[in-house]
Amino acid sequence: MTDAVQTLIDQAMREAGEAQTFSAYAPSNIALSKYWGKRDRALNLPLNSSLSISLAEWGSHTTVEPSQSGSDQVLLDGQPLPPTSGFARKALAFADLFRGGRDVPLMISTRNTIPTAAGLASSASGFAALTRALCGSFGLDLQAQDMSRIARLGSGSATRSLWHGFVRWDKGARDDGGDSHGVPLDLVWPEFRIAIVEVDTGPKLHSSRDGMNHTVDTSPLFSSWPEMAERDCKTIEQAINQRDFETLGQTAEANALAMHATMQAARPALSYLTDQSWAILQRLWQARTEGLAAYATMDAGANVKLAFLKEAEADVLQAFPGARVISPFEWSNA
């Protein structure tokens, strides 16, 4: 199968100049209806569409420049990484999509603004910012939608990190992935809030990539996921358009719990949620009986993220002191 994205890059690279210094930013994102399961593991083509909210100033700043030392260099938060480190290998393999076989030594520096303690994966913003920076460095004039398809090859969730606000990732139907990319929803909801309720965790035992492949391969519950997820994605988009926060929240929470249920049924079972995560959920459900309009979503980690509107912020912070609140529609330099 010819990869439509590689073809796109190869065509664009025919016009490319020498690598220049170029810096770019991309926000991280949280899926309100999840991507879980691939129909093509090499091209990161999903089995279902998904929908996310970008995290404004929480994301990755990446600079790509010609390497003065004559060999590739990768820096994370100012620290040079050994070329064998996982992050360096992934970043350089991604740069190879642009370099082809050409000898163009690059320096790639990334700085994440996501508080480390928040325990959020930075691969979404990382690959989106790297895509923007590589395109800028080689002078490629590509639309955000094309860059979204390129970022997808780095990590599926990066497909949605090319824009601020709400973004849908259309799963697409083509085998070559040409129609699987992000689509920003043209709408601003300034009162929308996300809070991260942190849970103590050690290093993650399973990457989301391994976790989703294991679930697809072994979970008898997975067969019901793609259709349900597709439906949830539509329901959430409609709820956003109608500013129907309750439907949005209820659907997002149910979608996340259903995703985690598919993992628990995997053989052997897989669980990213810990006792602490469940205790937070219990506290949330109790608070909801007392009128708190906040809903939870959880990804491939133990942290719980809450979605709510500005009017509930004080009550959320009272129920979850120390939660970090993000206003997705407020950003300055990002």
Number of residues near ligand DP6 (by CB under 6 A) = 15
Contact flag: residue 209 with ligand DP6 (CB under 6 A): yes
Residue 143's alpha-carbon distances to 61, 265, 308, in angstroms, are: 19, 41, 32
Contact flag: residue 123 with ligand DP6 (CB under 6 A): yes
**Tokens, residue 137:** 């460095």
Dist. CA 169–CA 195, nearest whole Å? 23
DSSP state of 302: S
Give the nearer residue to ligand DP6 in terms of CB position, either 156 or 328: 156
Segment interacting with ligand DP6 (CB under 6 A) among 13-21, 29-37, 58-66, 181-189: 29-37
Contact flag: residue 44 with ligand DP6 (CB under 6 A): yes
According to DSSP, the β-strands at 182-184 and 79-80 are unpaired
Nearest distance from residue 46's CB to ligand DP6, in Å?
A: 8
Segment interacting with ligand DP6 (CB under 6 A) among 6-14, 32-40, 53-61, 98-106: 32-40
Nearest distance from residue 182's CB to ligand DP6, in Å?
A: 12
Nearest distance from residue 247's CB to ligand DP6, in Å?
A: 19
- Other C-beta atoms closer than 10 Å to the C-beta of 74 total 23
Give the nearer residue to ligand DP6 in terms of CB position, either 240 or 287: 240
Name which of 213, 309, 237 is nearest 49 in CA terms: 237
Near ligand DP6 by CB under 6 A: residue from 25, 35, 163, 329:
35
Contact flag: residue 122 with ligand DP6 (CB under 6 A): no
Question: Under rule CB under 6 A, which residues in 267-306 are in contact with ligand DP6?
Answer: 299-300
Give the nearer residue to ligand DP6 in terms of CB position, either 35 or 58: 35
Give the nearer residue to ligand DP6 in terms of CB position, either 73 or 235: 235
One-letter amino acid of 307: A
Nearest distance from residue 68's CB to ligand DP6, in Å?
A: 31
Interaction mask 50-69, ligand DP6, x per CB under 6 A: x-------------------
Near ligand DP6 by CB under 6 A: residue from 31, 64, 273, 319:
31
Question: Under rule CB under 6 A, which residues in 187-206 are in contact with ligand DP6?
Answer: none
- 193 SS3 class: strand
Near ligand DP6 by CB under 6 A: residue from 208, 235, 251, 255:
208
Contact flag: residue 34 with ligand DP6 (CB under 6 A): yes
Distance separating the N- and C-terminal Cα atoms of the chain: 37
Residue burial 282-300, b: 16+ Cβ < 10 Å; e: rest: eebeebbeeebbbbbbbbb
**Tokens, residue 184:** 């920003």
CB-CB contact of 227 with 151 (8 Å): no
Give the nearer residue to ligand DP6 in terms of CB position, either 34 or 132: 34
Interaction mask 148-187, ligand DP6, x per CB under 6 A: -------xxx------------------------------
Nearest distance from residue 116's CB to ligand DP6, in Å?
A: 17
CB-CB contact of 208 with 121 (8 Å): yes
**Tokens, residue 9:** 């890059």
Residue burial 228-266, b: 16+ Cβ < 10 Å; e: rest: bbbebbebbbebbeeeebeebbebbbbbbebbbebbeeb
Nearest distance from residue 233's CB to ligand DP6, in Å?
A: 10
- Which secondary-structure segment (H or E) carries 141? none
Dist. CA 64–CA 120, nearest whole Å? 24
Whether the bond between 184 and the residue before it is cis, its omega within 30 degrees of 0, is no
Q: What residues line the site for ligand DP6 (CB under 6 A)?
A: 31, 34-36, 44, 50, 121, 123, 155-157, 208-209, 299-300
